[in-house]
């Protein structure tokens, strides 16, 4: 496999607060493609009471994007995933395939709120692992309890969780403190995956290329290859379109 991965992106049109139209999805994809991305996981929000797009609609929008992309962007793989806002029903729902896993792999992109207590993140991580899933903690730089406590990040990794940070956070788009936390994570080798978490081509656009260039300058191309290629290939083993 070649090319970068973007493992977190609100690419599908009209299913959450991401792309508004197929045209916008295609503009996002062209940006990703120009950045060297060849594996995209579309991760529409699932959040009870807020984002509950029916599965059939997700699949229809996913098919529409894939059809269009195939015509224009050769060699680009697009997978259907989900950014699942953690709740007490998630294990049951994922086991029953009521929401997509990350491209039919065993991986789950789990989101929490900024002030979720450590205990809940720990408990949900353990529950996902116990059910045979691979938890990926979405944009960990947003969670106060982890920002204050790298020991807890290490503990979650020890439990089998993978750590995802957003490209924009690494680049400093969410402030200096956030950027510094990301670089602490990086220096401790606690970043496994980077996602764009892009929501459009104008508002929160994909920034994988800029982030890869920044990291290449800081840490060299071996690190960039690990974060954007080797880790996702390993973590999403068995992924399919």
Q: b/e map of 146-160 (b: 16 or more CB within 10 Å)?
A: bbeeeebbeebbeee
Segment near Fe ion (CB under 5 A); pick from 15-23, 76-84, 95-103, 201-209: 76-84
The site map against Fe ion for 152-191 (x = CB under 5 A) is ----------------------------------------
State the nearest-atom distance from the C-beta of 8 to Fe ion, in Å.
Answer: 6
Nearest residue to Fe ion, scored by beta-carbon proximity: 197
The residue length of the chain stands at 241
Q: From CA 192, how far away is CA 235, in angstroms rounded?
A: 9
> Which lies closer to Fe ion via its Cβ, residue 186 or residue 204?
204
Distances (CA, A) of 160 to 127, 129, 133, 142, 225: 11, 7, 9, 20, 22
For residue 23, the SS3 value is helix
> Which lies closer to Fe ion via its Cβ, residue 83 or residue 201?
83
Q: From CA 121, how far away is CA 103, in angstroms rounded?
A: 23
- Termini Cα distance of the chain: 14
Cite the beta strand spans of the chain per DSSP E.
Answer: 4-9, 37-42, 45-46, 77-80, 83-85, 107-111, 134-137, 162-166, 193-195
Binds Fe ion by CB under 5 A, chosen from 6, 35, 83, 141: 83
> Which lies closer to Fe ion via its Cβ, residue 141 or residue 197?
197
Segment near Fe ion (CB under 5 A); pick from 64-72, 93-101, 176-184, 193-201: 193-201
> Which lies closer to Fe ion via its Cβ, residue 139 or residue 186?
139
Residue 35 binding Fe ion, by CB under 5 A: no
- For Fe ion, the binding residues in 92-131 under the rule CB under 5 A are none
Q: From CA 223, how far away is CA 230, in angstroms rounded?
A: 10
Segment near Fe ion (CB under 5 A); pick from 28-36, 82-90, 150-158, 228-236: 82-90
Copy the structure tokens of residue 224. Answer: 């960039």
| Count of residues that bind Fe ion according to CB under 5 A | 2
Binds Fe ion by CB under 5 A, chosen from 190, 197, 208, 212: 197
The binding site for Fe ion (CB under 5 A) comprises 83, 197
């Amino acid at each position: 496999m070649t090319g970068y991965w973007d493992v977190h992106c609100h690419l599908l049109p009209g299913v959450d607060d991401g792309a508004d139209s197929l045209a916008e999805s295609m503009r996002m994809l062209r940006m990703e493609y120009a950045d060297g991305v060849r594996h995209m996981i579309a991760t529409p929000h699932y959040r009870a009471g807020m984002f509950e797009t029916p599965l059939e609609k997700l699949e229809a929008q996913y098919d529409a994007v894939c059809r269009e992309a195939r015509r224009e962007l050769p060699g680009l793989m697009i997978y259907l995933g989900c950014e699942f806002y953690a709740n007490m029903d998630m294990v049951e729902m994922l086991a029953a395939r009521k929401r997509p896993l990350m491209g039919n792999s065993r991986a789950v992109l789990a989101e929490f709120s900024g002030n979720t207590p450590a205990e809940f993140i720990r408990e949900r991580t353990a529950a996902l692992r116990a059910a045979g899933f691979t938890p990926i903690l979405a944009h960990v730089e947003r969670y106060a309890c982890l920002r204050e406590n790298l020991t807890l990040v290490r503990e979650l990794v020890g439990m089998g969780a993978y750590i995802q940070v957003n490209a924009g956070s690494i680049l400093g788009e969410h402030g200096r403190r956030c950027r510094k936390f990301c670089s602490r994570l990086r220096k401790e080798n606690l970043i496994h995956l980077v996602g764009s978490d892009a929501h459009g081509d104008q508002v929160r656009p994909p920034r994988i290329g800029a982030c890869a260039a920044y990291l290449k300058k800081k840490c060299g191309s071996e690190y960039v290859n690990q974060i954007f290629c080797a880790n996702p290939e390993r973590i999403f083993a068995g992924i399919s379109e």
